[in-house]
Structure 1
Amino acid sequence: MDELTANISFDRFADMPEFYGSGAAKYRLAMVKDRDDFLDLFEGARHVDAVTYAETPDLMVKMLTDYDIGSLDVLIGNADDYADQVDAVSTARSLVQLRQDDRLTVRLKNRKIVHSKIYRVVMPDDTVKLVQGSANLSRNSWDYHTNQISVFTTETGTELDTEFKRFIDEYREEYSDQTLLEGLVEALEAADSPEERENRIEYWVGAGDLDVSDTAALNQDAVEDLKDVADKVTAVVDNPDEADETVAFVEDPENANRTVIEPGESTANEDSDQSEDDDESPDVGLVESDHETDLTDTLDRPRVRAPDEKIRMGTSKVDKDSADEFGRSLRNRGATVEDHSITAPLSAYTTQVKESTSIPTMSVLPEAEQIVIGEDDEMILVATEEPTPEVLNHCLETIEDYIQTVDDHGHTQSETAVMAQMYEAFLYGFWAPFANQYAESLSSPSRTLDNVLQHLYIEGKSDAGKDKLTEYILRLVSDNTVISGVDADDVGVKEVRGVREWDTSFPYAIIDAEKEKIQRWSPIRNYWGDWTPTSVDQPCLIFTTNDALPKSEFRNRMKILSMDVSFPSNPEDPGFREAQQDLSDVLERQNPIFSYVARRMLTEEPWTDGTGTIEDVRRIFREFYDKANREQPEYFPAEEPAEKTYDTGRMKWQRDIQGGRVTFESEPNAITANFDREDYEVYDYEKRLPKRFMSEKSSSSVYIGAPEEFAEWIGYSVDELLSGVDETGMDTAPSAEAQDASDEDSSGGFFSRLLSD
């Protein structure tokens, strides 16, 4: 450590009253270049007080163990959700034990960021080091910054020490009113067994069984009541005497306890400023459609409002703090909070869920053959009748018209691939609400659910239309009650972890997520790992991103679709207004396709076979095309996932081979691909290779340990790859295998277009 040391008389600080005193102290300036430079200050300390930035909770454990510090009391000045930084159960156990041993107190800020960095280090011999400067307790500070600190060494109890400690106490009083682990330690003290104690620690980290979550337990109670309400108001029978309850149709809906809304009627959550012309039932959005048939009577999708229904949640078995926090906001919406229960209006509860998660409640009820979405005091139900061919034709045409915007307005070298992957995204969105049913059927000790129930990852440039696509899928799944995803800037580990507590299966779409952020959201890696049949429902995750692929441990858990297309995104761009008008025309049409998919899924329950996932929705769509007597578009992924048929990774490699930007050289039992690209660009090429190729990037080259398999995948023989490249690029005709692949891709795949240019 670079330093300047001097003995300084306190009389020299007469113009600094806060440091005024008598006696002498040692003083030094120090340059902090790495972690050891800084932590050496604390080694062997009896006690440390601190106000600082600190983003690494495991460092607290390290300081108190590896550096033999007796106790630590630190105010974290920067983190709003410091608990989210604890992502290992072992770290949580250590933090809890240190707190219970009175060795660790982590104070959390309650106001604006505290930028100060001050430390009071008390040594066993009653000397004290008083440190201030720019150095934080964070790896980022040590790895990327050089910091400067001032160190005063004096005795405990001197005026300088007393004044320094007073400053620290002032920060604590004004900027903190809670400590890390506060609720968890209390819950652990009330645990009935070591097993329950361990479960609570695991859940606090986000790796434990959802059944032990207090929030999840409260939501589970609420959803049970919501299901009961749905059962009461949605059963349709021919003989009223067989019904548990009769729904009366009255002229004044406000006089009815529950109101069934006929198709075409306005709903409670629609804008109140509709035009007077809306008094008549619309023609279900067939404006601008080629069909003239009024389908209002054939779109059988009622809604039910239940404004007077109550939701009750028992609180006797959950942590009091959790119950109080849960009930606090509900009380503001008209809920009654008692000693052992919370009773809230249905609208209050559904609003609470929406505000807490940014998505609505959604419950799949196979027994009642219904899906219920909570939106204020309204519950939206699936279709009660099979669709007619005319209705199906309209629904399918509307989806195709949306996808057709790629051909009409997009700029891409692979129209068919983009359109196919766009359709694949629709299939995923319609499957996602049933993921918990598949989880129950597919769960087994020998199967990793995270590799089967994959998240959806849609990549593309900023003008690729991926966000609009995701938002349209959410519209279709929610019957236009959800019109946008969640901004990635509003999402952190806490949100990803917390969304699993709210007992909803509505897809959680995170818009414009950076790759680095996704990789920091640790619960994603084990999102389904602790799911059990008694867990609350948890939503599938959908990400849109401008970035390339994430690390392999995340890629293995994601269905990756690529939007390799560019749409006019600025008003001055040619075709911008036409593209916006075509898109608006599609969005304005009513399309109840999901209500019919849901009906088929609920009546057939294909998840009970324990074999399929999205393939079941793919089959339903094939049957819809047959029933509608409508020809499947060439890009429709009828037999296998679009990302497999149109492998964008393979297409990228093929383009560079054809463009002469990659050459191959032989290695013992391997080949090396040398790119005419920047090193950072080559990372994306290596990531897109299947694992079986045993690839490894080095500088601007990629080593491939399975050359024959790679050559077959890329569409050439190994000899052609090694000898068929000259200064202008590939000059030989593709192999017979490659030509066969081209013939099979007659629907417009990359090779068929490339070879015809």
Structure 2
Amino acid sequence: MTKTEFEATVEFDDGSTADLEMAADKSWDSFLNYFGDAQHVYCVTYSQSPAFIYKMFQNQDLAVDSLEVIVGDNQHDDYRRSLKNTNNAKKIAAQLESLRQDGDLFIHTVDSARVLLHTKLYIVENQDGSRTLICGSANLSKQAWQGSKQTNVNIAWRTDGDTPVDEWFERLYTFHKDYATPFMEDLTEEIEDAETAEEEAKIYDIWLGGDEFSDDPVAELNARLDEAVDDDQVNTYNVVTDAEEAEKAVFAAEDTDTDPTEISPDKRVRLSPQGLEDAISNLDDTLSANNIRINDGEIVATPAGIARYKETFTGYPDLNVDRDEKNVGLRVDDSVLELTASLPDDPQEVADALDLIEQYIETVGEFGETRTPKETRAHFYEGIIYFCWAPFANYCAHHYAEYESAELDKDLPFLFLHGDNDSGKGMFLRFGARLISNGYVQEVTTGDDFVKNNIERARASDTVFPYIVDDVAKSKIDRDIIKSYWEGKWDGSIQMPTFIFSSNDSTKPKSELRTRMKTLDFNVNFSELKKDEREAAAQIAGQADNCNLFPWFAHLFLQRDISLPDQADRLADARDVFAELYAYADKEVPEYVPLEKPAEQEHDPGRRKWISALSDGLCELDFKDDGRVIADFSANLDQQQCWQFQKATPAHIRASIYGPAVQFESANRFKNWINEPNIIEDARRDTETAADNTGVLSRVTRLVRG
């Protein structure tokens, strides 16, 4: 029973009266006495899970016609997660949804991680029209009472429903409701559109977390830390329109005299650690090093601490693409650099940015020596297109996943740059990183620092800044985890970066990995540059820090309708955006810029290698009746040398090595790839002539011997 410590009758100025009680309640049953005649209840309370509220209805602990609850300590997704982790989650979700649609139960959750409604307030409308109005410390949770020996002091007003205190409680309730959003409203909208029971069941699966929550606790922690930072806790600067402020934010981040991760009231980020305990335990040292702490059952941090902590996962900053707002944001401590901008009024600004890219590309041939300047420049430019596309790989995954035929590991290729020492690969990677980060990222990961664990950390990083690795051994790429990087982990809940590799290994990755990569060849040598040439090249590369090409690219890319690409050109959308930029700038397109098709197809070094071999008679072509063709190098090369020709073929050609011979499964694919009918025909004729001569010689030999 409720033990009443104090009671009185209060008369208000309008002549109405209400009974006031103050009591110390020590049990769930005593607290329920307030609700004995209740018909409708409105309350603000803490609640660990919607399953507990449902159980109160099911067990009739609270025998009311309707209940509206404002949950003060959970955001929508936090509360949904707690339901997901409950036994029979789908069944409970369906029953909660049914109660909601019948108007019997309405739940609201706080709309921001910064909001914590500690109030415990109840408006109880009784069967006879009277009211019980409660304000105190008790939560509407039987589990909370049973979990510990609680004592809660509550003040209750008993009114006829039309007194000044009724009005005051209603205003208080409305005030709290303004900080909350309806729970399950999104589910209701989708359920209404379901036409079959199977569709409805799938909607529940997705809503409960099939496409929303990661099964990796570390990835989940990283995503929730990101979500916990409110817009008003960071300073947002557009790198084009607020260039000076953006530059100052970068300089401030490099200032070692101050610690931006220090927690202060105006920069405090708070969120619940529920469901994240294992991740927090495993990452305790890293979290603590960035002033991310557990205080009084809450994770407490700062925007800067979160940004620096997340950077430890890949070594690259926290870059995010907001699919709803259509913008790209780079977190730098407690600032966000907005890397999206509308095209300028003056097209010459775009022309100048494209000029810079061309100046850099044309160092190939001007400073670096190459026998194939046009082809190599095209490969360099293709790499620039990829760099601009790279932050949108995760964005594209969301669009591609809508298609049943999508194969994300093939549709979202990594980039592999192949070239000898001094071919400019390292400088190119740094140029690309600077270009898409407004100069914030100056260095890239080295191959020695790249290990298998880095791939898993990238999957959990919740950032879209590409993971760039310079001079990596091919053996580190030939791994199954790369073969299934996207489809093995991506579920839409966590942002994952794509990878950009460079290597000077003599051979390229094996064929099943080449279908998951764009391979570009840097057939150039910069080893003998003069001092003034080195300085000129460095000056050109340095201008990437202030080039606005990527923000304009990002703006145009985010306006496009993204659909599943043809396997022949997986960067078609990015290529089209570059065509838009050239058109807007009214600028002549250099002949090496690959706007029509991928550079590795238009200028395929492997194709060139095979054409030379066929023209020089290095191999004989044997066309089989079953559609195969065999290129026999046995007269001129050994098996090891023959491997180089097999590796030079695109994966879709399906070439296999057999001793000193390469077998193609489809003669037609081989001929279409070479695309030189005369060379193919000459090679075939030479092979047949050689065979005829061999046949004549053998017959003469038999006659002589006979």
Is 1:500 aligned with 2:500? no
User: Structure 1 CA distance, aligned partners of 2:384 and 2:363?
Assistant: 15
Root-mean-square deviation over aligned CA pairs: 3.4
Is 1:592 aligned with 2:512? no
Is 1:653 aligned with 2:614? no
SS in 2 for 1:267: helix
Q: 2:325 aligns with which of 346, 361, 368?
A: 368
User: Structure 1 CA distance, aligned partners of 2:486 and 2:591?
Assistant: 35
The amino acid across from 1:347 in the alignment is A
Q: 1:412 aligns with which of 370, 392, 398?
A: 370
In the TM superposition, what whole-angstrom CA distance separates every residue of 1:103-144 from its partner, at most 9, and x where no partner exists? Answer: xxxxxxxxxxxxxxxxxxxxxxxxxxxxxxxxxxxxxxxxxx
Please identify, of 630-639 and 548-557, the stretch whose mean Cα deviation from structure 2 is larger: 548-557
- Give the superposition deviation at 1:471: 1.4
Partner in structure 2 of residue 489 of structure 1: 448
In the TM superposition, what whole-angstrom CA distance separates every residue of 1:8-29 from its partner, at most 9, and x where no partner exists? Answer: xxxxxxxxxxxxxxxxxxxxxx
The amino acid across from 1:607 in the alignment is I
- Give the superposition deviation at 1:476: 0.7
User: Structure 2 CA distance, aligned partners of 1:461 and 1:271?
Assistant: 39
User: Structure 2 CA distance, aligned partners of 1:716 and 1:502?
Assistant: 50
The amino acid across from 1:267 in the alignment is K
Q: 1:703 aligns with which of 635, 659, 663?
A: 663
Please tell me whether the aligned partners of residues 362 and 504 of structure 1 are also in contact (alpha carbons under 8 angstroms).
Answer: yes
User: Structure 2 CA distance, aligned partners of 1:231 and 1:434?
Assistant: 26
Structure 2 counterparts to residues 39-58 of structure 1, below 5 A: none
- Give the superposition deviation at 1:606: 2.9
SS in 1 for 2:472: coil
- Give the superposition deviation at 1:481: 0.8
Distance 1:534 1:230, change over 3 A: farther
Is 1:719 aligned with 2:684? no
How many residue pairs get aligned? The number is 464
Q: 1:423 aligns with which of 377, 381, 394?
A: 381
Structure 2 counterparts to residues 91-240 of structure 1, below 5 A: 211-226=214-229, 228-229=230-231, 234=236
- Give the superposition deviation at 1:601: 2.2
Partner in structure 2 of residue 378 of structure 1: 335
Distance 1:371 1:311, change over 3 A: farther
Is 1:621 aligned with 2:578? yes
User: Structure 2 CA distance, aligned partners of 1:234 and 1:267?
Assistant: 12
- Give the superposition deviation at 1:233: 5.0
Partner in structure 2 of residue 38 of structure 1: none
User: Structure 1 CA distance, aligned partners of 2:652 and 2:326?
Assistant: 43
- Give the superposition deviation at 1:384: 4.0
Q: Identical aligned pairs, as a percentage?
A: 25
Partner in structure 2 of residue 513 of structure 1: 472
> 5+ residue gaps in structure 2?
1-84, 91-210, 256-262, 690-706
Please identify, of 681-690 and 628-637, the stretch whose mean Cα deviation from structure 2 is larger: 681-690
Partner in structure 2 of residue 270 of structure 1: 251
SS in 2 for 1:364: strand
Distance 1:653 1:370, change over 3 A: same
The amino acid across from 2:649 in the alignment is L
| Greater radius of gyration (CA) | 2
Partner in structure 2 of residue 662 of structure 1: 619
In the TM superposition, what whole-angstrom CA distance separates every residue of 1:193-245 from its partner, at most 9, and x where no partner exists? Answer: 7999xxxxxxxxxxx9971111111111112134x327975599xxxxxxxxx
Distance 1:550 1:534, change over 3 A: closer
In the TM superposition, what whole-angstrom CA distance separates every residue of 1:462-517 from its partner, at most 9, and x where no partner exists? Answer: 21111211111111111111112211211222110111112101100111111111
SS in 2 for 1:509: strand
The amino acid across from 2:508 in the alignment is L
Is 1:639 aligned with 2:600? no
- Give the superposition deviation at 1:432: 1.2
User: Structure 1 CA distance, aligned partners of 2:445 and 2:541?
Assistant: 20
User: Structure 2 CA distance, aligned partners of 1:632 and 1:705?
Assistant: 38
User: Structure 2 CA distance, aligned partners of 1:685 and 1:543?
Assistant: 22
| TM-score, length of structure 2 as denominator length | 0.60
Distance 1:657 1:579, change over 3 A: farther
Q: 1:561 aligns with which of 486, 500, 520?
A: 520
- Give the superposition deviation at 1:677: 3.4
SS in 2 for 1:347: helix
In the TM superposition, what whole-angstrom CA distance separates every residue of 1:606-655 from its partner, at most 9, and x where no partner exists? Answer: 32677785212211111111111210010011111111111121011112
Partner in structure 2 of residue 463 of structure 1: 422
User: Structure 2 CA distance, aligned partners of 1:479 and 1:724?
Assistant: 57
- Give the superposition deviation at 1:428: 0.9
Please tell me whether the aligned partners of residues 459 and 560 of structure 1 are also in contact (alpha carbons under 8 angstroms).
Answer: yes
SS in 1 for 2:677: coil
User: Structure 2 CA distance, aligned partners of 1:334 and 1:466?
Assistant: 37
The amino acid across from 2:352 in the alignment is H
- Give the superposition deviation at 1:395: 0.5
SS in 2 for 1:477: helix
Distance 1:657 1:349, change over 3 A: same
Please tell me whether the aligned partners of residues 660 and 725 of structure 1 are also in contact (alpha carbons under 8 angstroms).
Answer: no
Distance 1:637 1:384, change over 3 A: closer
> 5+ residue gaps in structure 1?
1-190, 197-207, 237-259, 275-305, 728-757
Please tell me whether the aligned partners of residues 503 and 538 of structure 1 are also in contact (alpha carbons under 8 angstroms).
Answer: yes
- Give the superposition deviation at 1:594: 0.6
SS in 2 for 1:263: helix
The amino acid across from 1:449 in the alignment is L
